[in-house]
Amino acid sequence: FISWEFGIIPPIPLENVNWESPHLVSVIVMKDPIDRRLSGDGTILKMFGKEKYRSEEQWWEFAEYDGSINFMLTRLTPDRCGTEGENTTEECLETGKELLRRFTYILDVKCLDEGLEALAGELGFSLPYLNKDSGKTQVSARERIGDDELYEFILRRNQRDFELYEWSKGLSLVNCSALEDENSDSAGNGGGHEFVDENGTDDDIFTSFNETHDFDDEFSAEDYSVYNNETGSKETPDLVGEKSSQDIILVTNNNTDNNRFNNHEDVRLLQIENYKKGNALLLNIHITHHAGTTFCAAMKQIGNTPSNACNGGDDWPETVPRHRPWEYDETDRNAIELRKVYHFISWEFGIIPPIPLENVNWESPHLVSVIVMKDPIDRRLSGDGTILKMFGKEKYRSEEQWWEFAEYDGSINF
């Protein structure tokens, strides 16, 4: 093993190396760009002072410092591309991606020890005891900086580095976000990063429904009310057609015993139509290892989703609680509020839901729900960091380890 450290821009472009040499195994560790900037060193401390004692002026000098703009891209690409900050081109980003594809392994510093364990398994050597807390940031970069305007400024200047880091998670040897969710006691965290080919999604994924279905003809005003976005109240109009699809949200009149929407197919059609009109939220019920983050990656290409694997994140609206799942009476309100921000969210359940899923108002006209099912044994064999620690890597398991794996109660009828 050897290491090449690049605090400076490499004198020879890294793309010139024969990364495909059969005598070379290459590894790169990726890191969140703002977390990297906040790592600091002697030079940074001399220039801008210690983080917790910095004045507002010092923080802005730190943010405007040109020496750290798109630090990863400027090291990975030729011609110092990336130094243009927010004006860095898409072509520069693609050049960085192309180089990362050529490396044998990508690790994510957020779960570096688990990554090193997986690497050891791949390459056939053992590692000494590792501190499982290394590389994991306990306080977010936004909280450490303590100024949203400053944080957004740094984010904007280093946007291409962020895009490169987020993209690299799909190629990382270990799924850090899935590990975080597996080890989290909070139902508000979750997610993972399974790789989705950039060109493998269909932008028209939700346009396969009957586009000629006319709901104003199919249902009468007696069958539904409208939720007026402007007044925040329900109405039962004589002619629904008097309002545009952007002004109304169709809702069922649940106080009628003979309500036509008690029919499941009618409810489903209404939900779908509302989603297409921007009035219903798409929700994935993600049982861990059921391709939830593949789904999330596809949905991110279609529209806004929560930043943290579609489960939550810093951009979650303050008006909506972070718990999951929802009780029946809060489903409508939460779905309506979230649809103003996102078109899609995900609820991942590696743990048993703290509230029974049957409590959710799945018939809400403001909610389109999806679940991905999977063969149970295929799911068990998906594995994760916890399973690897308990039973070893699949191809190296002894007969005894396989029986321990089979008898493990934590995955029975998952």
Output the average pLDDT for the chain.
Answer: 79
DSSP 69: T
In residues, how long is the chain? 414
The b-or-e profile of 187-198 (16+ CB within 10 A means b, else e) is bebbbbbbebee
* pLDDT value of residue 116: 94
Q: Among 11-15, 35-39, 134-138, 368-372, which stretch is predicted with the lowest mean pLDDT?
A: 134-138
* pLDDT value of residue 133: 52
pLDDT at 184 over 90: no
pLDDT at 246 over 50: no
- Report the distance separating Cα 145 and Cα 278, nearest Å: 35
Place of tokens 């280093």: 158
- Report the distance separating Cα 44 and Cα 38, nearest Å: 9
- Report the distance separating Cα 226 and Cα 244, nearest Å: 11
- Report the distance separating Cα 86 and Cα 158, nearest Å: 7
* pLDDT value of residue 183: 62
pTM: 0.46
DSSP 325: S
Q: How far is CA 75 from the centre of its chain?
A: 26
Do residues 285 and 311 make contact, with C-beta atoms less than 8 angstroms apart? Answer: no
pLDDT at 400 over 80: yes
Top-confidence residue, 177 or 323: 323
Do residues 345 and 338 make contact, with C-beta atoms less than 8 angstroms apart? Answer: yes
Q: Among 38-47, 141-150, 250-259, 288-297, which stretch is predicted with the lowest mean pLDDT?
A: 250-259
The band of 324, judged by pLDDT with boundaries at 50, 70 and 90, is very high
- Determine how β-strand 344-349 pairs with β-strand 281-287: parallel
pLDDT at 192 over 80: no
* pLDDT value of residue 182: 63
Q: What is the pLDDT of residues 286-311, one digit of tens each?
A: 998 898 878 998 999 899 999 888 99
* pLDDT value of residue 181: 65
Do residues 278 and 246 make contact, with C-beta atoms less than 8 angstroms apart? Answer: yes
- Report the distance separating Cα 294 and Cα 193, nearest Å: 7
What are the two backbone dihedrals, phi and then psi, of residue 371, each rounded to the nearest 5 degrees? Answer: -130, 140
* pLDDT value of residue 196: 33
